[in-house]
Homo-oligomer: A and B are copies of this chain.
Amino acid sequence: MPLLVTGSIAIDTVRTPHGVSENCIGGAAVYFSLAASFFSPVRLVGAIGSDCPFHFDKVFAGRNVDLTGLEIRENSKTFRWAGTYADNMDDRKTDHMELNVLAEDPPKVPGSFKDSRYVFLANTAPNLQLELIEQVGSPVFVAADTMNCWITDHIKDLKRLLSIIDCLIINADEAKMLAGELNLISATEKILQMGPRIVIVKKGESGAIMCDADGGRFILPAYPATEVKDPTGAGDSFAGGLMGYLAQSGNADFATLKTAIAYGTVVASFAIADFSVNGLTCLSRTDIDSRFKTLRSLTSF
């Protein structure tokens, strides 16, 4: 089933206790597309400026990632982010950010992408996410991510978005903030009342939780990774593995979503093992399936 992703493409500079990666490729749409491409063809919608130094043909070499929706804007500059991770590899601070092309009109969804059935709206202003999803004809499963600044400053648009999507994929702290609830399970239940039939909460090294509107729940720990060099893109790689598996299955029932979350968890565990997208580009589906089996055995009793 065709899987569409809309999201940022970034020039990142990342500092972690393991080193520095300067002006490397990043951005939600890039991590997502690489992660999802192990499972399903991907259609990428995103914009960059003329300063963008990356060769996308090489980045996505050998993968079924359709770049028809990649807009290169001659008079614009690419989104840039620089950040530093603390020793615990969890807390991070933004050292520098230039929105650049992200502050302009969102990219258009190409005509050939309008029949996409699975859609992921990576984190951006909710009014732009709404504008993007309106361009897709009749998707069967739409998931979106969001973050604190949209919750505090654009809650009206965000609630409109929540009323039309199937699934929200969100960090634990932001789920609590959105629901105004300190208990994570209660927060998740409150978000379900805002519209989506599925809420998936990302808890970083503590794993993920899913709740659905019928009372279904699933909890999965993170893969116990000993190699963590750069957590950037972990959440988007998780979403990519998850949505890629759903698109491959052509199904988003509860049992399929559980397996999809486990695949997302596994792909994210590879993504954080190296800087930028290197943890994903050197990977094979066999590696993923092998670690998926390990995760199942690690968690069963």
B209 near A206: Cβ-Cβ < 8 Å:
no
Assembled-state Cα–Cα distance A206/B228 (Å): 19
CA distance A137 to B259 in the complex (A): 49
Which chain B residues lie closer than 8 Å to A88 at the CB level?
182
CA distance A220 to B185 in the complex (A): 17
Measuring CB to CB, which residues of chain A are less than 8 angstroms from any residue of chain B?
17, 87-89, 182-186, 189, 203, 205-207, 209, 217-221, 224-226, 228, 258-259, 261-262, 296, 298-301
CB-contact partner of A220 in B205, B209, B221, under 8 A = B221
**A89 CB to nearest B CB, Å:** 7
Among candidates B89, B186, B298, residue contacting A217 with C-beta atoms closer than 8 Å:
B298
Q: Is the CB of B185 within 8 A of A218?
A: no
Contact present for B217 and A224 (CB under 8 Å) = yes
Complex contact A220–B87 (CB within 8 A): no
Residue of B nearest to A17 (CB): B182
Q: What residues of chain B lie closer than 8 Å to A221, measured between beta carbons?
A: 206-207, 209, 219-221
B-side contacts of A262, CB under 8 Å: 301
- Shortest A174–chain B CB gap in Å is 15
Q: Which residues of B contact A207 (CB under 8 A)?
A: 206-207, 221
Bound: A209/B217 CA distance, A? 21
A203-B206, A219-B224 as given contacts; A182 in contact with B296, CB under 8 Å: no
Residues of chain B with a CB closer than 8 A to A205's CB? 184, 206
Minimum CB distance partner of A296 in chain B: B301
List chain B residues, Cβ under 8 A from A87: 182
- B298:A185 contact, CB within 8 angstroms: no
A9 to chain B, nearest CB (A): 30
Report which of B182, B228, B298, B301 forms a contact with A259, defined as CB distance below 8 A.
B301
Which chain B residues border A298 with CB–CB below 8 Å? 217-219
User: A220 and B299: CB pair below 8 A?
Assistant: yes
Q: Beyond A89-B182, A183-B228, A300-B300: 18 further Cβ-contacts under 8 Å?
A: A89-B183, A184-B205, A185-B224, A185-B226, A186-B226, A203-B206, A205-B206, A206-B221, A217-B298, A218-B299, A218-B301, A219-B224, A219-B298, A220-B221, A220-B299, A258-B301, A259-B301, A299-B299
Give min CB distance, A30 to chain B, whole Å: 26
Contact B299–A219 (Cβ < 8 Å): yes
Residue of B nearest to A223 (CB): B219
